[in-house]
């Protein structure tokens, strides 16, 4: 089974014994839980995109390991065309779901691991690269969703992993055995962790020799003994648990999810270990993963931005102000910002280059510029959408009020009839449709969907300072000084 359908993916999750906790309780049927299911649907969309005919072939690739057709989310990039198609696929899926479809982290981890394991083997004579290729072949053949797990809780940020008062602030080795290692710790903010078949763990920062027990990378099934997940809250998330919830949810079908992934003395066999104490490569792996993931934001966030622009345009139409020059200017500005992000994603892909391992890596400088823009532009796009929508987006009565048949006032009109009357907009537009688009914008700009758009745009793949540091390293300031000196006629004495 090289390519699954969305339905087959959902059924495959039911076979797992993943331990999920929410609101202090273990959730037995987490696949169908109303707060979790929209995120499952979002991942399923990545499977349907590959299984369906069309989509310009964006969601399908040819495996460099088997020669078979595979889902692009399990692919190792073989060219700059692959890198560009990745971004285009992410935009397409953002347009389909208006949310975080969660498989990008694993895809980016695969490509970072592929080249880094090769480089470790070259220096130390290990066999990590062959182990990783064997693991990835299994992932491709079974079309698995794999969570790329990088972010440790970190504890005291002024101290290195080995200096922490609580060593579990960073994932680390607690026992070495002939056949593997035992690990302990956690990974925080893990996108799509609950919805993944496997996890691929990586270090989170550059390390020193004293931190070698923390310099580890490995894979394990999501239901491995000793691993469990505590589901993260989102804004307005309990609306999904209300009886007959519909309009008030905004984006009812799709959503993202984050969780704390805890490893309580988990055994990892040697065949799934891809770094074990090679501390000098921890930073290499982090930077490569971050580069790929910062490229990703030039696709997924742009697709969601397309939907926000469409929703804002609809809100303007329903309010009767679609022809106002001020509204047109705002929509143009939103489009300008969104397309700028896409240009950055495509640019760092088109300027990519092959690694020694044979896969293709993006232009790191341009990828970091892409992500730094993403920490700003979605906030402005959301602000402009809220501006166009108007205050009713956050003051509107509930769906139950609109449907209420409770009589009120002297005329005997019901609450529902009053809401229907006073919240109408442009003639010919159903009040319910106006309500739906405003709730959708509330959800995507301020509610649970904002986790996968606005706030996540700031912190995902590293907060703004991380990109500034990388841009500072790769900005080639000395080379640019020489350019200026040559043209200005400055010679060195």
Is there a domain that residue 119 lies in?
Answer: no
Answer yes or no: 300 catalytic.
yes
> What stretch of H or E contains 354?
strand 353-354
CA distance 442 to 482: 51
Pick the catalytic residue from 297, 318, 342, 360: 297
Count the neighbouring beta carbons within 10 Å of the beta carbon of residue 284.
Answer: 18
Does a structural domain hold residue 92?
no
Of 113, 278, 361, 456, the active-site residue reads: 456
* Residue 447 binned pLDDT confidence (cut-offs 50, 70, 90): confident
Question: Whole-angstrom Cα distance, residue 345 to residue 333?
Answer: 19
Let me know if 293 is a catalytic residue.
yes
Give residue-wise pLDDT tens across range 69-112: 999 999 999 999 999 999 999 999 999 999 999 999 999 999 99
Q: Is the pLDDT of residue 490 over 90?
A: yes
Any domain includes 407 = yes
Number of domains within the chain: 1
- Residue 395: its pLDDT value, please? 96
pLDDT of residue 320: 97
Q: 42, 84, 104, 344: which one is catalytic?
A: 104
297 among known catalytic residues? yes
> Could you say which of 191, 318, 361, 386 is catalytic?
191
Q: Tokens at residue 108, please?
A: 């980016």
| H/E segment holding residue 88 | helix 80-97
Cα–Cα–Cα angle for 317, 415, 312, rounded to 5 degrees: 20
Could you tell me how far CA 286 lies from the centroid of its own chain?
16
Task: Please determine, for residue 55, whether its predicted confidence score (pLDDT) is greater than 70.
Answer: no
Range of the domain at 467: 287-480
Q: What percent of the chain has pLDDT over 70?
A: 99
Total residues found in the chain within this entry: 493
Give a yes or no: residue 148 inside a domain: no
**Which tens digits make up the pLDDT trace of 319-330?**
999 999 999 999
Would you say residue 292 lies in a domain? yes
Known catalytic residue at 197:
no
The predicted structure's pLDDT at residue 456: 86
Residue 257 lies in a domain: no
191 is catalytic: yes
Is 336 marked active-site? Answer: no
**CATH code for the domain of 334:** 1.20.140.10
Catalytic annotation, pick one of 47, 118, 151, 258: 258
Identify whether 204 is a catalytic site residue. Answer: no
Give the separation between CA 458 and CA 452, rounded to whole angstroms: 10
Alpha carbon distance, N-terminus to C-terminus of the chain: 68
Are 202 and 148 in contact, with CB atoms under 8 Å apart?
yes
Confidence of residue 305 (pLDDT cuts 50, 70, 90): very high
Annotated catalytic residue 445:
no
Residue among 220, 300, 344, 419 flagged as catalytic: 300
Model confidence at 10: pLDDT above 60: yes
Q: What is the mean pLDDT of residues 17-22?
A: 98
């Amino acid at each position: 089974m090289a390519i699954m359908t969305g339905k087959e993916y959902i059924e495959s999750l039911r076979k797992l014994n993943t331990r999920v906790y929410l609101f202090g309780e273990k959730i037995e049927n987490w696949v169908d839980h109303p707060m979790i299911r929209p995120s499952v649907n979002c991942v399923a969309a990545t499977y349907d995109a590959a299984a369906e005919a069309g989509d310009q072939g964006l969601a399908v690739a040819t495996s460099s390991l088997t020669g078979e057709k595979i889902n692009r989310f399990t692919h190792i990039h073989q060219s700059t065309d692959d890198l560009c198609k990745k971004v285009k696929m992410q935009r397409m899926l953002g347009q389909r779901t208006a949310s975080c479809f969660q498989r990008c982290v694993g895809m980016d981890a695969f490509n970072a691991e592929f080249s880094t394991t090769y480089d470790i083997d070259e220096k130390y004579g290990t066999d990590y690269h062959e182990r990783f290729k064997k693991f990835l072949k299994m992932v491709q053949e079974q079309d698995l969703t794999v969570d790329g797990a990088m972010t440790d809780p970190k504890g005291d940020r002024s101290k290195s992993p080995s200096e922490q008062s609580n060593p579990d602030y960073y994932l680390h080795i607690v026992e070495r055995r002939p056949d593997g290692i035992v690990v302990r710790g956690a990974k925080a903010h893990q996108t799509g962790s609950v919805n993944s078949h496997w996890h691929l763990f990586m270090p989170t920062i550059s390390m020193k020799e004293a931190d070698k027990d923390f310099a580890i990378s490995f894979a394990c099934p999501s239901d491995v003994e000793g691993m469990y997940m505590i589901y993260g809250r989102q804004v307005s998330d309990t609306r999904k648990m209300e009886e007959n919830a519909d309009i008030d949810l905004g984006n009812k079908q799709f959503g993202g999810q984050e969780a704390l992934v805890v490893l309580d003395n988990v055994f990892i066999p040697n065949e799934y270990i891809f770094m074990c104490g090679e501390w000098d490569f921890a930073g290499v792996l982090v930077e490569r993963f971050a580069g790929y993931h910062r490229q990703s934001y030039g696709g997924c966030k742009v697709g969601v931005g397309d939907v926000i622009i469409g929703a804002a345009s609809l809100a303007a139409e329903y309010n009767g102000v679609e022809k106002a020059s001020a509204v047109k200017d705002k929509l143009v500005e939103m489009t300008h910002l969104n397309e700028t992000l896409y240009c950055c994603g495509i640019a760092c892909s088109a300027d990519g280059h092959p690694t020694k391992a044979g896969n293709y890596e993006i232009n790191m400088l341009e990828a970091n510029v892409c992500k730094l823009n993403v920490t700003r532009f979605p906030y402005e796009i959301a602000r402009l959408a809220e501006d166009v929508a108007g205050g009713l987006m956050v003051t509107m009565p509930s769906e139950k009020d609109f449907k209420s048949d409770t009589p009120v006032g002297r005329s005997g009109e019901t609450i529902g009839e009053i809401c229907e009357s006073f919240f109408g907009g442009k003639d010919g537009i159903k009040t319910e449709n106006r309500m739906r688009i405003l709730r959708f914008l509330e959800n995507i700009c301020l509610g649970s969907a904002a986790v996968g758009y606005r706030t996540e745009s700031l912190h995902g793949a590293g907060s703004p300072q991380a990109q500034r540091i990388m841009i500072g390293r790769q900005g080639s300031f000395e080379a640019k000084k020489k350019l200026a000196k040559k043209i200005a006629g400055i010679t060195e004495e």
